[in-house]
Structure 1
């Protein structure tokens, strides 16, 4: 039997307006490109990434995901391992070259880290994010928590860049790509294993982590963290969280390689209806 809880499940309207604005701007930009149309595959990937972004961090699912370790890790995995490569695949090379020539892009480019450094920093920060001490700090400082999430999101784009960059010249060759993919898996492994090891050591559950995770997005006076059935927030849920992240990351690497890592934009568009 589910326990009842009272919590306001809201939609993030400012984020929705931003997503719609990005979609409109993207569509208008494509109108100036003679070879790319809205019904082609690349725009579909771009719009799909925007839709996933809003569902992941702007819908009531954001709140619900913090009721369970596995649901939370699924949300994080979609945010960092699926949305960035989809969005990058959806940017045609012609459009990227035009953006690259703007003054704003030039200023931003000076602050972008190299992919390997971004990958290492992301892996360390992602591991730290799920340490109890760090989570406790985030419950006391929502501003710091949000800033941490946004920084990880930005780093994830640099992390995926050498695999699925809009510019074919900046993509790694097959040999280098395999090495980079292997390095990515190794560096992200500790964060995945954290939940598995925690499940084995903490027995049936980890009340400290469960309470903190729930409080990240929900007021303590309005929620029961035991709303979900028995398998959730138990050692099985914690272990499943680690395996879910490993699986999603691996599948995303494989799918991204097929979609755009070793193809030119014209190759991606072949077979469009």
Structure 2
């Protein structure tokens, strides 16, 4: 990280405008759970410390991955790109969902208009949408196209982010009465997610050649760096030659490590979620067998 400061400016590393935007999101959050709640939903419980911590931490992760140093690192090494993808789509969504109190979700989706789109939230649709878009993105020709066409990049990332929330809603639904899945079905849903993501990870891990021009072709890399550096980025080729200047692992090892990182984060997150759901299910199924302290 310190070495990068020799080659890139403070603004290119830390993106102050994006930081201010994320600070604005946190301020809005505290307004909605504070003054807005007191005025429009005075009977609702206040957000807990846990919820506040989850939401603020999620916003910090979003900033680091899409505006902070990890954003730049993700354009220099595929491993960091996959770290960003893992955090953005496997960690941040459930943190945001659980960090926003249920009364805000009810207020946001109370309009009759949303009922017309309810079919999009069917568990099978959300399962397939996210995993198909995520896997398609890692097909080399698609990945390189998205990474070098800024408008397409923004739209694709926004849609992928939205479908990640739709998928995680089935697992970590923040509004109890809107939950469509029983505990057993949620466990099966998590397992299905793990299975569907495996082919994309395996494609990356077991490839013995660099698949993405973004990380091995100097011209394509320089174009993709336009997300982090304003103006004409072709000077990077003359100054550094290509991404290999920053990649000490080598193209193939970096690529394989990126796939391993994604798979490990996926397994860790889904494992934690499965354990939590199983614990809650087991507790409910056996609560009648627990001794009643009042009777004792």
Same fold per superposition (TM over 0.5):
yes
- Distance in structure 2 (CA, Å) of the matches to 1:53 and 1:120: 24
How much is the aligned-residue C-alpha RMSD, in angstroms? 3.1
| Residue 20 of structure 1: aligned partner | 23
| Residue 255 of structure 1: aligned partner | 272
- Distance in structure 2 (CA, Å) of the matches to 1:226 and 1:4: 18
Comparing 92-101 with 5-14, greater Cα deviation is found at 5-14
- Distance in structure 1 (CA, Å) of the matches to 2:235 and 2:162: 33
Q: Does the 8 A contact of 2:201 with 2:259 survive in 1?
A: yes
Is there any run of 5+ residues in structure 1 with no aligned partner, and where? 264-273
Query: Is 1:35 equivalent to 2:45 in the alignment?
Result: yes
Q: Does the 8 A contact of 1:125 with 1:152 survive in 2?
A: yes
Correspondent of 1:127 among 122, 126, 135: 135
Query: Is 1:214 equivalent to 2:214 in the alignment?
Result: no
| Residue 106 of structure 1: aligned partner | 114
Query: Relative to 1, partners in 2 of residues 1:101 and 1:211: Cα closer, same or farther, differing over 3 Å?
Result: same
Structure showing greater Rg: 2
Correspondent of 2:205 among 196, 204, 216: 196
Query: Relative to 1, partners in 2 of residues 1:149 and 1:112: Cα closer, same or farther, differing over 3 Å?
Result: same
- Distance in structure 2 (CA, Å) of the matches to 1:70 and 1:243: 9
The structure with the greater share of residues assigned to helix is 2
Correspondent of 1:59 among 60, 68, 92: 68
Comparing 206-215 with 127-136, greater Cα deviation is found at 206-215
Query: Is 1:246 equivalent to 2:255 in the alignment?
Result: no
| Residue 161 of structure 2: aligned partner | 153
Query: Is 1:91 equivalent to 2:100 in the alignment?
Result: yes
Q: Does the 8 A contact of 1:164 with 1:260 survive in 2?
A: no
| Residue 283 of structure 2: aligned partner | none
The Cα of 1:206 is off from its aligned counterpart by: 5.2
SS of match in other structure, 1:230: coil
Of structures 1 and 2, the one scoring higher in RCO (CA 8 A, sep 6+) is 1
| Residue 227 of structure 1: aligned partner | 245
- Distance in structure 1 (CA, Å) of the matches to 2:138 and 2:54: 30
- Distance in structure 1 (CA, Å) of the matches to 2:251 and 2:6: 19
Q: Does the 8 A contact of 2:140 with 2:212 survive in 1?
A: no
The Cα of 1:174 is off from its aligned counterpart by: 1.9
Q: How many residues align?
A: 255
> CA offsets per residue over residues 146-175 of structure 1, 9 Å max, x none?
211111011100010011111123333221
> CA offsets per residue over residues 100-144 of structure 1, 9 Å max, x none?
3257x8389558443321221222222221222113323542111
SS of match in other structure, 2:108: helix
Q: Does the 8 A contact of 2:187 with 2:278 survive in 1?
A: no
